[in-house]
Amino acid sequence: MPLIKLDLDRRLGTIDPNVYGMFIEHLGRCIYGGIYEPGSPLSDENGFRTDVLQAARGLQVPILRWPGGNFVSGYHWLDGVGPDEKRPSRPELAWNTTESNLFGTNEFIQYCRALDTEPYICANLGSGTMDEAAAWVEYCNREVGTSYANLRAEHGFEKPHKVIYWGLGNEMYGDWQIGHKNAQDYAKFARLCAKVMKATDPDIKLVLCGGQVLAHDRAAYLDWNWEVLDKCADVVDYIAYHFYFGPVKGQDPHYSTLAQPYHSEQHLRFLWQLIEQVRRDHHVAHPIKIALDEWNVWYRIHDNQLEERYDLTDALAVAIYLNMMCRNCQAIEIGNLAQMVNVIAPIFTSPEGMFLQTIYHPLRLAVEKSGPIALDAYVDCDTYSADYIGLPAVGYLDAHASFDEAAKKLFVSLVNLSKDDAQKVELRLHDADLVSEGQAHIVTGDAPDVVNDFGKEPVTVRSEVLADVSSAFTYKLPPLAHAVLELEVK
């Protein structure tokens, strides 16, 4: 029988709420036709789709990254401010389309205010310049009195937007990126941009562009991270890491997809060690954390719309990935699921309505049913081999426990990876007791490939009462299931 042992005093750290963030890019129908559709009967006076806003509010998004993604590396922010009729339409070279520029900086900030989320702007370090990056910070953050701050006021925004989080480019290592660079050139340019951006507003926090693990060139990832951290550690606060995943070719699609978060975890731990080593070597006193600012299951569709339909396996993979991020809370302080609407997204629209994809539900549970303190859960369970990605033993049971001390609530997030077998999980809590009645919030379905659609959402959250809870009790987790146990500490 699988066993989980918990102790409220054995803590991994505090989970930064920013790990539950989202990302929106000018790509396909994410912005236009997703969050923003002026003239639609479903939109408000700002052109924001209210049905989408409501669904996004359910995710309590703490931080929203914009405008890209690959898009940002050819984006000039001045095109997207001021009167609509003066904004130029431009060829969009990252996704081969046309950008109307009707959704720009001020629309993004208004959207963030409507969603009650912190804006995170990624600057253009591809075709952009140092001056342009610093001017964007000035436009957003300085009090009136200088030209770009005055321009903001002319555009109707007297008070600064106070954007704290800024990215130093997107995936600059990849030859798919406009203006991509080698590590040396990027590090040099990022450092220069970082200095003028911080000089413009010393309160901002900067995210350095970290490398991505590419199957064809693993060494490049290490070299890149080493070089950029070595040159920029003293001027940045985070390093970005992107991870998209899906089944491994030739392997069971379900089990190989679900092994991927652990594969990612290995790389993240390595990156964390590298960060700490560079900080030590360079005597960098301030913390540098990992911003996992693009992550998701994504493997089916590679056109310029990316309208991936998610199934139950994907929902379980997202639940495991969220658990993994929380278990690594000392290292990871920002997470942005890519993306929020239509493009590899939990929310899917048509001009007439929307539905929630399977992956919406673990995302919602992660933020709604969790506490700020990550506990060090001991897990013993059967395993399978994912040797093909260097993992000899992946547990059939994934678990993450969190504690809300003020509310005296313990949350245990579980995933049963098995397609066939229920698992009777024995939970033992050391040196504390639980109120005898709790709740279980469950996401499950009949088959790994079950999907949601307009008017038909078989994968959702079902909540049920748990009776006979105590400091040692058993919970039967169905196959193909994610459950969060909500328990009250006496």
Interface residues toward ligand AHR, by CB under 6 A:
25, 68-70, 170-171, 294, 338-339
- Which residue sits closest to ligand AHR, CB atoms considered? 69
Angle between helices 312-327 and 360-368 (to 10 degrees): 30
- In whole angstroms, the minimum distance from the beta carbon of 70 to ligand AHR comes to 4
- In whole angstroms, the minimum distance from the beta carbon of 75 to ligand AHR comes to 12
Between 100 and 170, name the residue whose CB sits nearer to ligand AHR: 170
Q: What is the C-alpha separation between 54 and 309, in angstroms, rounded?
A: 21
- Catalytic hit among 118, 294, 333, 486: 294
Between 165 and 403, name the residue whose CB sits nearer to ligand AHR: 165
- In whole angstroms, the minimum distance from the beta carbon of 297 to ligand AHR comes to 12
Taking the C-alpha atoms of 283, 284, 289 and 293 in order, what is their torsion angle to the nearest 10 degrees? Answer: -120
Question: How many other β-carbons are positioned within 10 Å of the β-carbon of residue 90?
Answer: 15
- In whole angstroms, the minimum distance from the beta carbon of 480 to ligand AHR comes to 27
Residue 96: what residue type?
Answer: N
Q: What is the C-alpha separation between 292 and 314, in angstroms, rounded?
A: 18
Residue 107 bears catalytic tag: no
Buried b (16+ CB within 10 A) or exposed e, 354-381: bbbbbbbbbbbbbbbbbbebbbebebeb
Residue 307 bears catalytic tag: no
Between 99 and 294, name the residue whose CB sits nearer to ligand AHR: 294
**400 to 129, 171, 329, 358: CA distances (angstroms):** 43, 30, 11, 20
Give the DSSP H/E element, type plus range, for residue 464: strand 462-466
Question: Residue 428's beta-bridge partner residues?
Answer: 5, 472
Most distant CA pair in the chain: distance in Å? 68
- In whole angstroms, the minimum distance from the beta carbon of 170 to ligand AHR comes to 5
Between 95 and 272, name the residue whose CB sits nearer to ligand AHR: 95
- Catalytic hit among 25, 107, 118, 171: 171
Between 107 and 294, name the residue whose CB sits nearer to ligand AHR: 294
Q: Are 67 and 26 in contact (CB under 8 A)?
A: yes
Q: Which residues are catalytic?
A: 171, 294
